[in-house]
A and B are shown apart, each in its own frame.
Chain A
């Protein structure tokens, strides 16, 4: 045994899970010649992008199950196009048999978009559509009230050391002495409105100010707070 003194290893390897994107090649034909033409044509437009890219072969669109020899030929033309076939996309017993013969993994849970990708992606975050959460009891020191996907209306005191939060706006009709956070999931249009302003901290969409940096002349006043760009602003209501 010739172990180094400083690093006695218990395990030879470490197994970790990670997620990577995987290029899929969906075959509309099994003819190696036309596949190669198509692939080289495509990769020529972005040569570095596809270089040694891991590729998963999707056989689901072929009319009849290919033979092991045919897939070997496809793997070869994919390699000649500069990419590396690393497995087959899930597709029933015939794919399992092919994968066994070729000693290739079968990838499950690949969700190829079956419809054309819509032009407009990433719909805006859902607007607060629920009715506002009503809080009638005082929010005491150490308590937290959070209105998910909606506005919050507090009809009583928010004590020092208490926290009120909402994905939408926060309205406080009792004295506000604690912390208030509006737009906690990033809604920069959310605002804070309160009747008697003595907050410890105000935050909108993650931009916050503590009371030391809040103008002192607002203390005890009806105040609203909103976000202008990266700047959190305060003003007396009714002026």
Chain B
């Protein structure tokens, strides 16, 4: 049984690729066979975040257009045995993708025994984003706690309920999850930022994870190491929790409240 998970948001720069990379790693670390695919044709980034940019020979578009086999294009991760990356093409544009081609790749991955296919959607609601979500069983909607991101996510949720294969076939809904990123409990406390509760109420969905704002994300991206693999980071723990919830485990939300200062910290302004 293969499950297709799309990581999407509508708005750009909210952390879709960071989330795709970390969720894929988290699932693979639990022994699942995972393929993570970059749907942002022409603006390929996932390979950088995954640290495999120098090993990209063939890409997603090459496979779709029959210029190579799927096996040739899948890049095996050096850290995790069961994780594979399918990079986007940097030289083509979104029109190179076709619904038929994407379906063929998914069918081949299914036949190959992949348990999870994580689709890193481009921003926007154009063809690339549409195809990334079209075949999905589940969607992780990445939201920053601010109004424009929430509005765009609402739009994406509307598309998920109408413009997907499941919706068109009446084959049950795409299962939707919210994942908040760049969350700063301190700024929520001062009223500068929307809270988890605010976002949940507006979008009417439960959250699968809350990832705190952290300098660790940028450092991990620059190093080409998915941030979930940085064991010392709260971000890693937050993504680990999200993976657990995706797999059906019940884990309490962390990193949503401002850390309580201890007595000494309060006394000495620590």
Contacts and interface: CB of A to CB of B under 8 A. Distances in A.
Interface residues on A, range: 10 to 19
B110 interface: no
A105 to B, nearest CB: 52
A155 to B, nearest CB: 12
Contact of B155 (A137, A140, A174): A140
A144 to B, nearest CB: 10
Contacts of A159: 154, 202-203
Contacts of B204: 138, 156-157, 174
Please classify the interface of chain A as helix (H, G, I), strand (E, B), loop, or mixed, using the class held by over half of its residues: loop
Contacts of A8: none
Nearest to B157: A140
Contact of B161 (A137, A157, A160, A177): A137
A160 B202 CA distance: 9
A161 interface: yes
Interface in A123-170: 137-143, 156-157, 159-162
Contacts of A160: 151, 154
Interface residues on B, range: 10 to 19
Nearest to A175: B201
A141 B161 contact: no
Interface string B129-148: 00000000000000000000
Interface string B146-177: 00000110110111011000000000000000
Contacts of A142: 154-155, 158-159
29 contacts: A138-B204, A140-B154, A140-B155, A140-B157, A140-B158, A140-B161, A141-B151, A141-B152, A141-B154, A141-B155, A141-B158, A142-B154, A142-B155, A142-B158, A143-B158, A143-B162, A156-B204, A157-B202, A157-B204, A159-B154, A159-B202, A160-B151, A160-B154, A161-B154, A161-B155, A162-B158, A174-B204, A175-B201, A177-B202
Interface of B: 151-152, 154-155, 157-159, 161-162, 201-204
Interface of A: 137-143, 156-157, 159-162, 174-175, 177
Given A142-B155, A161-B151, A175-B201, 15 more contacts: A137-B161, A140-B154, A140-B157, A140-B158, A141-B151, A141-B152, A141-B154, A142-B159, A143-B158, A143-B162, A156-B204, A157-B202, A159-B154, A161-B155, A162-B158
